[in-house]
Amino acid sequence: MIDRKDISYHPLPLPFYHDMTDDEMHMAALDFIEFIQHRHSVRDFTDRPVPRGIIENCIKAAGSAPSGANHQPWHFVAIANPEFKQRIRKAAEEEEHKFYAGGGGDEWIKALEPIGTDESKPHLTIAPWLIVVFAQRYGQFEDGEKFKNYYVPESVGIATGFLLAALHHAGLTSLIHTPNPMKFLSEMLGRPISEKPAMIIAVGHPAKHATVPEIAKIKKPLDEILTFYE
């Protein structure tokens, strides 16, 4: 909840700047490429517990992401409760059954074939944590007056990227699940009508037999994703 006293401009000195030489920056960029390319979406989890504090710290990192007007239009709900996870899995699999039965359309279903997915979502109950990401369409001042949030999908997407990187940095595996519709999550988790569930992230450790689809290792070359004007 934003306090009205926080909406005035008060400049502060830059708190931190990591000053590096060009060579140091080059090596840092290469190191990060190697690190982040080791992250994979895994569908096979073990039920090995993950301490709550690790999840808290990763979400704290996500909360430091930039956002439109600094409104931080997100909320994260971390779930370890087996009953809640089972309810989420049941609802998700019901929607996935409709999708794979033809509701998704032939083209979309065909596109998913190399990924190897189907309507079964055991990771939603096996993974020790599910993190539900909510997007806040509007906020409220301390007196209850509403205010508009800006660039909500973009802001939530950036924060989610921070979260995935933080989870990977902590040695955890994650998998994004985006069932649609997900309205049941708001009621089940007691979230206000101003928030819309955006995605579910399963978090934990990979099973010993975990695999990744071969196509997931195929990434577009740099010249297809980058254009320079110098």
In a domain, 57, yes or no: yes
- Classify residue 167 as exposed, middle or buried by CB count within 10 Å of its CB (0-12, 13-18, 19+): buried
In a domain, 30, yes or no: no
Host domain of residue 131: 42-225
Residue 108 tokens read as 């979309």
Nearest C-alpha neighbor of 87 from the set 205, 195, 188: 188
In a domain, 35, yes or no: no
CATH number at residue 79: 3.40.109.10
Helix/strand number for the chain, H first, E second: 8, 7
In a domain, 186, yes or no: yes
Please report, in angstroms and rounded to a whole number, the separation of the first and last CA atoms in the chain. Answer: 43
> Can you give the pTM of this predicted structure?
0.94
Distance CA 219, CA 225 (A): 10
Q: Cis before residue 181, ω within 30 degrees of 0?
A: yes
In a domain, 184, yes or no: yes
Q: What is the pLDDT along the chain (230 residues), one digit of tens a residue?
A: 566 666 788 899 999 999 999 999 999 999 999 999 999 999 999 999 999 999 999 999 999 999 999 999 999 999 999 999 999 999 999 999 999 998 989 999 999 999 999 999 999 999 999 999 999 999 988 888 899 999 999 999 999 999 999 999 999 999 999 977 788 899 999 999 999 999 999 999 999 999 999 999 999 999 999 999 99
Give the count of domains, the chain. Answer: 1
